[in-house]
Chains A and B, each alone.
Chain A
Amino acid sequence: MILEIKEKIVEKILLLIAFSSISILALIAIFIFGEGLPLIWKLGPKAFILGGRWVPSQGSFGILPMIVGSFWVTLGALLLGIPLGLACAVFLNEWTPPLAATFLRPAIQLLAAIPSVIYGFWGLVVLVPLVRNYLGGPGLSILSGSLILGFMILPTIISISEDSLRALPPTYKAGGLALGATHWQTIWRVLVPAARSGIVASIILGMGRAIGETMAMIMILGNAVKMPTSFLDSARTLTTNIGIEMGYASGDHRQALFATGIVLFFIIMILNSLAIFLSRRRTG
């Protein structure tokens, strides 16, 4: 009898605990929206999102340059990260000369584990001078940021694409080869298309990581608030806008940074939901 009551209590407590992650998510949404929405309301969503001027001291808060900055940096990162990541996933799954794989796997793990400030620092001392000397411009640029971000999102793209390639039934590969296709034809025309929902999910998650990266971008992008016109221009993203100014902002200015956070949160939640939907379909 006592045992039964104890069982019931334990079950209820576990249920309560299991809701912790979703409650944290809800709290994040409530508090960030609560802090930022009043300002969006005051300015009007259109003026905030499509406004091109960000001068906190004069009370103008338009985040279009940051949205454009985030977009270019993320696009650049994907241009590097997708081909590189897919190639590595195929390498690990299909052509695995044991010696090479023993080096590639730990390398990818370490890429995932290195703190983003280290990436930012390395970009600042190695990559930025290279870009400045050979391509011109300030060096602190979208190009430098994209290159670093491309490597930062590699682990995400590789691990999830590799999982979905590995989850394919071995008959797919056997069938392709039996039809007389070369190994590469089998990979490119059979295996990759069959694993596409997982691969797309990995790319979307990589995109989420790229949009959300803060510290490395603060150190590499130069942080100028203006519409970037070329890949060699300095830029500011949604995340770096928050990261740089949060330290000293107050009043409307602080609310505007939380409002920037709302836009970021919104984008990330859409990407997350898409990726979750795609990977559910894969397993289901």
Chain B
Amino acid sequence: MMHFRTRFITQGIAKILIWVAALSTIGVMILILFQILKEGLPVLHLRFFLDSPRSMGREGGIFSTIIGTLALTVVAIIFATPLGVGTAIFLREYTRESRISRLIRFGTDCLAGIPSIIFGLFGFVFFVITLNMGWSILSGGLTLAAMILPTIISTTEEAIKAIPYSFREVSYSLGGTRWQTVTRAVLPNAIPGIFTGIILSVGRSIGETAAVILTAGSSLIIPTSLFSPSRTMAVHFYILAREGISMEMAYGTGATLILLVLAINIVANWFLNRYIRHRA
């Protein structure tokens, strides 16, 4: 009987420790949000978003960095989406498990694990120097596109996988070719999944700093073309905080980043619940 009791005491202790772990994870999350939002929210006025930074960011707002972030993200999505969706279609609809598909999967998995500073080094020597694009929206956007490619591939694959096989059978039985089946039966049903992947990638692009600072530069001027250098919000936040230019402005920019990330996650979750999990 004694043994019987110690077993349950051990279980009780384990349960308590696991609860502590779970609660401290939630706790740290809340502490981070609380600290940044408490100091940052008071800074957020319309003026803060619509004024460009003055005297290195000590005064004014963050307008030019919003434009920079937007431009870089759009370029990244435009390049990564067709490549990612195409890869997912190929892996799911055009090939079974084979040496080629294993090689492609290996490449995608490895790419997903490469640290952003390595992408930064690569983007710098390849886009900025070798292709002579300079520090620019285009260099930064292309580097980001390479970074988010694995996310788009995997979410699109998940979406395609969830489509019942009968959809394809109907298309084939009507005489549809493979490409017709893909474009008319598979892809339309995978769009919510692809969209979720894009939203998550936008989140990653907005927060990325190491790769962007080496490829897009840190100019505070409002970009006018794809070849203008630019500073994103995340880079601006980093420079303000690290060089101690203005804590107030840093908190404001940080709070903006956090609010964006929160919004993006809520939208992605809502989409996932509404269109994907329920159907599958």
- Which residues of A come within 8 Å of B, CB atoms? 3, 6-7, 10-11, 13-15, 17-22, 24-25, 27-28, 31-32, 34-35, 83-84, 87-88, 90-91, 95, 100, 103-104, 106-111, 113-122, 124-126, 151, 154, 182-185, 187-188, 205, 208-209, 211-215, 218-219, 239, 242-243, 246-247, 257-258, 261, 264-265, 268-269, 271-273, 275-276
Choose one: B33, B115, B150; the contact of A264 (CB below 8 Å).
B115
Among all A-B residue pairs, the 10 with the closest Cβ atoms: A212-B115, A115-B207, A22-B107, A87-B21, A17-B86, A184-B11, A18-B90, A14-B90, A107-B29, A214-B210
Closest to A208 in B: B113
Interface residues of chain B: helix, strand, loop or mixed (majority)? helix
- Are B94 and A14 touching (Cβ within 8 A)? yes
A174 CB, min distance to chain B CBs, angstroms:
18
In Å, the complex CA distance between A51 and B249 comes to 41
Please indicate which of the listed interface residues B113, B213, B258, B264 has the most CB atoms of chain A within 10 Å of its own CB.
B113
B266 CB, min distance to chain A CBs, angstroms:
9
- Are A261 and B234 touching (Cβ within 8 A)? no
A29 CB, min distance to chain B CBs, angstroms:
9
A102 CB, min distance to chain B CBs, angstroms:
11
- Are A117 and B238 touching (Cβ within 8 A)? yes
- Are A116 and B149 touching (Cβ within 8 A)? no
Would A20 and B149 be within 8 Å (CB), given that A7-B177, A246-B124 are in contact? yes
Kindly identify, within residues 250 to 280 of chain B, every residue whose CB is under 8 Å from any CB belonging to chain A.
250, 254, 257-258, 261-262, 264-265, 269
Q: Across the interface, which residues of A come within 8 angstroms of B146, CB to CB? A: 24, 28
- Are A184 and B10 touching (Cβ within 8 A)? yes
14 CB contacts below 8 A, A to B, read A7-B179, A11-B178, A17-B86, A19-B107, A22-B107, A104-B22, A113-B264, A115-B257, A118-B32, A118-B36, A120-B238, A208-B115, A214-B116, A239-B210
Would A21 and B17 be within 8 Å (CB), given that A110-B29, A110-B265 are in contact? no
Q: Across the interface, which residues of A come within 8 angstroms of B33, CB to CB? A: 110
Kindly identify, within residues 60 to 99 of chain B, every residue whose CB is under 8 Å from any CB belonging to chain A.
82-83, 86-87, 89-91, 94
Known: A17-B86, A21-B150, A87-B22. 13 other contacts (CB 8 A): A21-B104, A25-B114, A31-B125, A106-B265, A113-B265, A114-B261, A151-B28, A182-B11, A183-B11, A215-B238, A219-B238, A246-B121, A257-B121
In Å, the complex CA distance between A261 and B169 comes to 49
- Are A115 and B18 touching (Cβ within 8 A)? no
* Cβ-based interface call for B50 (8 A): no
Choose one: A117, A154, A276; the contact of B237 (CB below 8 Å).
A117
* Cβ-based interface call for B7 (8 A): yes
* Cβ-based interface call for B24 (8 A): yes
Please indicate which of the listed interface residues B18, B30, B237 has the most CB atoms of chain A within 10 Å of its own CB.
B18
Please indicate which of the listed interface residues A31, A106, A118, A258 has the most CB atoms of chain B within 10 Å of its own CB.
A118
B68 CB, min distance to chain A CBs, angstroms:
15
- Are A276 and B106 touching (Cβ within 8 A)? yes
In Å, the complex CA distance between A113 and B103 comes to 29
Kindly identify, within residues 110 to 133 of chain B, every residue whose CB is under 8 Å from any CB belonging to chain A.
110-111, 113-122, 124-126, 130
- Are B103 and A22 touching (Cβ within 8 A)? yes
- Which residues of B come within 8 Å of A, CB atoms? 7-8, 10-11, 14-15, 17-19, 21-22, 24-26, 28-33, 35-36, 82-83, 86-87, 89-91, 94, 100, 103-104, 106-111, 113-122, 124-126, 130, 146, 149-150, 153, 177-179, 203, 206-210, 213-214, 234, 237-238, 241-242, 250, 254, 257-258, 261-262, 264-265, 269
In Å, the complex CA distance between A24 and B118 comes to 12
- Are A21 and B149 touching (Cβ within 8 A)? yes
- Are B35 and A125 touching (Cβ within 8 A)? yes
- Are A25 and B110 touching (Cβ within 8 A)? yes
Interface contacts (Cβ under 8 Å), in number, total 243
A119 CB, min distance to chain B CBs, angstroms:
7
B88 CB, min distance to chain A CBs, angstroms:
9
Would A243 and B117 be within 8 Å (CB), given that A104-B25, A113-B261, A122-B36 are in contact? yes
- Are A214 and B117 touching (Cβ within 8 A)? yes
- Are B115 and A110 touching (Cβ within 8 A)? no
In Å, the complex CA distance between A20 and B142 comes to 13
Choose one: A116, A188, A205; the contact of B113 (CB below 8 Å).
A205
- Are B8 and A100 touching (Cβ within 8 A)? no
Q: Across the interface, which residues of A come within 8 angstroms of B208, CB to CB? A: 115
Choose one: B25, B119, B237; the contact of A107 (CB below 8 Å).
B25
Choose one: B15, B87, B113; the contact of A184 (CB below 8 Å).
B15
In Å, the complex CA distance between A35 and B31 comes to 42
- Are B115 and A20 touching (Cβ within 8 A)? no
Would A117 and B234 be within 8 Å (CB), given that A24-B111, A25-B107 are in contact? yes
Q: Across the interface, which residues of A come within 8 angstroms of B178, CB to CB? A: 7, 11
Would A17 and B82 be within 8 Å (CB), given that A87-B17, A88-B25, A272-B109 are in contact? yes
- Are A115 and B206 touching (Cβ within 8 A)? yes
In Å, the complex CA distance between A95 and B153 comes to 33
Q: Across the interface, which residues of B come within 8 angstroms of A31, CB to CB? A: 122, 125-126, 130
